[in-house]
Structure formats: structure tokens, C-alpha cells
Amino acid sequence: MLSIDAARLDTLRQQGQLTRRARRGIERESLRVTEGGDISMRDHPKSLGEPLVHPHITLDFGEAQIEWVSSVHSSIPDMLEQMRQLLAFTQSRLEPGRERLWGLSVPCPIRDEDRFLHAYSQDTRDTHQGLLAQLYRVGLRHRYGAMMQAVCGVHYNFSFPKALWPHLGVERNEGYLAAVRNVRRHLWSLIYLYGASPLVHPTFVDKRSHRLEPVGADALGLPGATSLRIGDLGYSSRAQDGMGLAFNSLESYTGEVERGLTTPWPAFVEIDRLGREAGRRLQISPAILQLENELYAQIRLKPEVRPDVRVLDGLRRHGIGYLEIRTLDLNPFSEVGIDSEQAHFIEVLLWAGALADSPELSGDERTRLTLEFRQISECGRDPGLVLPSTGAAVPESGEALCDALEPVADLLDAACDQSPHRQALDAARRRFSGKLPTLSEQVIEDAKQHGGLVALGNHLALRQRQRLLDCTSTFSAAPHEVQAAASRETLEQLRRQSAGQSFESYLQTHLLSRG
């Protein structure tokens, strides 16, 4: 369990407002679906701008899979409000009566994988960046199948104040790594509390082996499941299982990522062979990772964002700029996909991770945490489950964690006008004790009440659509329209830049820039 360093905590108390200088942002994905709850076959709406270059409204794997990226914010309320406005603007540009946004992490019924078209297949073919984005997605389809890419979630990005580390007496990279190790040891709490994908539609696992059992009229699940999205049926890669991401040093982390980018994987070499036979590329390379973005880690280290600097190069040259937490399912009961309680609890855990003792992760502990991660996602609500890391059941472990986090929540609230961190911690405590339902429990209960998973998904999509449209009157769409127009101009510039070089030459330059 976390052991907060009292001296560090006291040092931070003496710094008063330093904690307010942290920065955060979120990324959120959703599928566009028809009024009947099927995957939309319509192109990305032109009125939203060009997703290849738009700073806030882009595409994930699929043409019908929008990804929204917030700016960097100094407060959680501002971050959530910007995401709400981005989603509301998007919803207002979807054709009324024809499309809405799916609110669940697990996809709507997709009865034919070929109907889930990958993004960037048409309008960006005359840009090198568009062709690279398209080829990357073709590679993902051949490696993992389109259904795995159809799951959606929320990524939480967080940076500590740069002035924090001298006060704690640690170098910045070491401070971030210590926080990551501690958060990784307690990721089970986020999955248990906020996992919201205990059920999937049968089409999600069609033609795949699985252990899921029928639940209700149109769903499959496991007894006690919390988040099937992050289990073996969701974001996972057997090729990446051997990557030793211990977060014990930045050098070892970047070395493992580079190894992933340069080491061929037998199954992916076979994809290359099939591509040669077909006379076209089917992936960027046969390596374990085509790009850094393919790394399916629960937490990723990121450098400060700099134009034209790749993640690996940025980490090596400039160090860690922020952390990306990738374990969050969409909160289907919030039109934003994440609510204030979740955001404040996550930040309490992050700050506690930086303030607590953080021994290096051994190989045995990493193996135990991987097992624990799978257990909490597949059977976390099982009352008989004992966490390997604590030797206690989840409710007892959760309440003990909340006890350890209390002084950190109070520290953060001392710099706020109210007490949102303590309120989030109290809500988490009630969820651990069973006085409030976890998100996965709420999904299961609501699916029963609405007559099935698809009916629930349609109900949530309609409710969120109305909530988002209701809030469009509270802000101006003009800034979003300006950004959309600017993205179209940027795409034209890329077209002109791409005209004088072949894509193959561009790709080889891209591959040689690794490391």
C-alpha cells in the first residue's frame, strides 16, 4: 500500500499554491452510429474540418470513430467544459435523425468487420501524412482485426509543476518514473471503480475464441467483470507482452520502445510477405510496433509536445513532459465521457504516487501486477477475489487505499476554493464499501432495466445527444468553425508539400528517423 513520505508532504504544504500549477488534458473517442444503433457508413462530416490536421477533432482507427483532444488546462472544470463544447459542436454538425454518438466503450453491433472502414482512406491520399496514417491503420487491421480497434476510451494526460521536483529533492525524470511505478501498483483501483465495459455484444467476439457467457438477451460477459475493454479481448498485443516496461529508468523505457520499433515479429513478417505477393504494403514495418502510438501500455511517458519531434526522440532529448493514463473506459453516464469525481480521484492518486516511497519494479512484481490487472478487469467484482499485491479483498484494499490518500486530498484541497478532491475520495470510498455502485455495476443494472445492451446503448446515445445539444446555446460555435476552416488550409499546404516527393521516399525517411 502507498506509504506517503511525511517530509515531502510537509514540504509541499509549505509551498502553498504550487499544486495549482499542474496541467492536464483529456482525449476521448466515440463511434458515430445510426439512429438504429448500427455503425455509421457516412464520411467524417466536412463541417468539422480536416481530421488529419485538426488540433482538437480528429479520427482514431475508423472513419466513424471520432477522437477529441482537449487543450492543456490549469483546472479540471475548464478541461471538462472544453471537452463538453467540442462534443456539443460535433453533435450539432451530425445530420439530425441520422447519426448520434455511441456512449459505451464497447462498440455497437458490427456484423461485418468490413463495414468498419479505417480512417483516412479517401481525401488525404494526396498527402504523405495521410498515406502514412492510412497505412498504419491497414497494418492494425491485419495485425489485430478491426473489432479490437473499435473499442473507445478516455486518456488522461497530466504534468506535474516543473518547480515541484527541486522541492522534493529529485530529478524530474526520476520523479515522474517514481509516480508511474506507484500509480501502476494501484491501477486496480481505477479499473474497479470506473471500469464500464462488463458486457459486449456477441458480434464483438465473432470468430474469436473467448470464455464469455450469455448475459441477458443480447450481451456476453464474465461474472464479476469490470472492463473487458482492457482485457485480452480488448486492447492487447501478444507481440508486446515481452516488452519489459519496468519504468525504472528513462533509458530502459526508451530502449524497450526502440526495440519494439526495430524488432520484427514473426506474425508481422508474414503480413509483409503477403503484402509483397499482393504488390502493396500492408503495414509500415514488420516490427513489434509500427509507430510509438501502437504501444498498448496502461501508462505511457510523453515528452513536451514539439512540432516534428517524434515521441522517442523527444523523450531522449528533453525528458518526460507528461504522463498518459490509458486505462479509463468511457463513463456512459457522463456526456463528456469522464466526470469531475473521476478526474479528481485520478489526480489525488498521481500526486500520492509522486509523494510516496517508490521502489523499483522487479520482474516478479511486474508479472504479479499483470496478473492483477487481468483479474480486476475480468472478475474484479467477484467478492472472493483477493488482490495479490495487498493480500486482501478489493473492498478492504480500496478502503485502505482511500485512508492512505486522505492527506494528499486534503493537501490539494487547501489550494482550492472547495474540497473536490476529498469529495472524490469520499465517493470512491462509498463505491468500495458498496454504498454507491461502481460504473460496471451500474451498466449491468441499467442494461437489465432497458432490455439489453443495445437498448441501453441507444438510450444513452439519445440522452447524451440531447444534453449536448442543450448546451450549444451556452457557447459560440464561431471558434470551432474558424478551426475547421484553418484545418482545411493546413491540409492544402500538406498537399503542396507532398507533390515533389514519392510516398515510398517519405516512408523510408520516416523509418530512418527512428531512435
What secondary structure, in 3-state letters, does 95-139 show?
A: CCCCEEECCCCCCCCCCCHHHCCECCCCCCCCCHHHHHHHHHHHH
- Please answer whether residues 505 and 131 qualify as being in contact, where contact means their C-beta atoms are separated by less than 8 angstroms: no
Q: What is the mean pLDDT of residues 415-430?
A: 96
222-239 pLDDT, tens digit per residue, is 999 999 999 888 877 889
For 443, residues 6+ apart whose C-beta sits below 8 A from its C-beta are 104, 196, 197, 198, 199, 332, 456
Report the mean per-residue pLDDT for the chain. 95
Residue with the bigger pLDDT between 129 and 118: it is 129
Sheet holding 199-200, edge to edge: 199-200, 219-221, 213-215
297-318 pLDDT, tens digit per residue, is 999 999 998 877 899 999 999 9
Cell of 310: 517524434
457-511 pLDDT, tens digit per residue, is 999 999 999 999 999 888 899 999 999 999 999 999 999 999 988 999 999 988 8
Compute the 3-state secondary structure of the chain and give helix, strand, coil in percent, each to the nearest 5: 50, 10, 35
What's the pLDDT score for residue 117? 83
What is this structure's pTM? 0.97
What's the pLDDT score for residue 514? 63
Three-state DSSP state, 447: helix
Q: Which residue has the cell 463541417?
A: 47
Q: How far apart are CA 24 and CA 39, in angstroms?
A: 31
8-65 pLDDT, tens digit per residue, is 999 999 998 999 999 999 999 999 999 989 999 999 999 999 999 999 999 999 999 9
> Residue 127: pLDDT band by 50, 70, 90 thresholds?
very high
- Please answer whether residues 124 and 491 qualify as being in contact, where contact means their C-beta atoms are separated by less than 8 angstroms: yes
Judge whether residue 515 has pLDDT over 60: no
- Please answer whether residues 348 and 429 qualify as being in contact, where contact means their C-beta atoms are separated by less than 8 angstroms: no
**Distance set, CA 382 to CA 376, 379, 439 (Å):** 9, 5, 15
Q: How far apart are CA 311 and CA 317, in angstroms?
A: 10
Three-state DSSP state, 508: helix
CATH no. of 6-512:
3.30.590.20
Beta bridge partners of 154: 28, 328
> Residue 455: pLDDT band by 50, 70, 90 thresholds?
very high
Q: How far apart are CA 53 and CA 491, in angstroms?
A: 7
Judge whether residue 395 has pLDDT over 60: yes
Q: Return the closest-CA partner of residue 357 out of 4, 12, 1.
A: 4
DSSP per-residue string spanning 352-365: HHHHB--PPPPHHH
Q: How far apart are CA 479 and CA 49, in angstroms?
A: 12
pLDDT above 70: percentage of residues in the chain: 99
Q: How far apart are CA 388 and CA 405, in angstroms?
A: 20
Q: What is the mean pLDDT of residues 253-264?
A: 97
Q: How far apart are CA 313 and CA 295, in angstroms?
A: 16
DSSP structural state of residue 58: E
Q: Is 489 exposed, middle or buried (0-12, 13-18, 19+ CB in 10 A)?
A: exposed
Cα angle for residues 333, 22, 417 (degrees, 5° grid): 70
Judge whether residue 261 has pLDDT over 80: yes
For 474, residues 6+ apart whose C-beta sits below 8 A from its C-beta are none
What's the pLDDT score for residue 511? 80
- Please answer whether residues 366 and 380 qualify as being in contact, where contact means their C-beta atoms are separated by less than 8 angstroms: no
Q: How far apart are CA 157 and CA 323, in angstroms?
A: 6
Cell of 39: 455503425
What's the pLDDT score for residue 236? 79
Question: Where would I find the beta strands (DSSP E) of 128-211?
Answer: 153-159, 199-200
For 502, residues 6+ apart whose C-beta sits below 8 A from its C-beta are none
Question: Where would I find the beta strands (DSSP E) of 113-251?
Answer: 153-159, 199-200, 213-215, 219-221
Identify residue 145 by its one-letter amino acid code: G
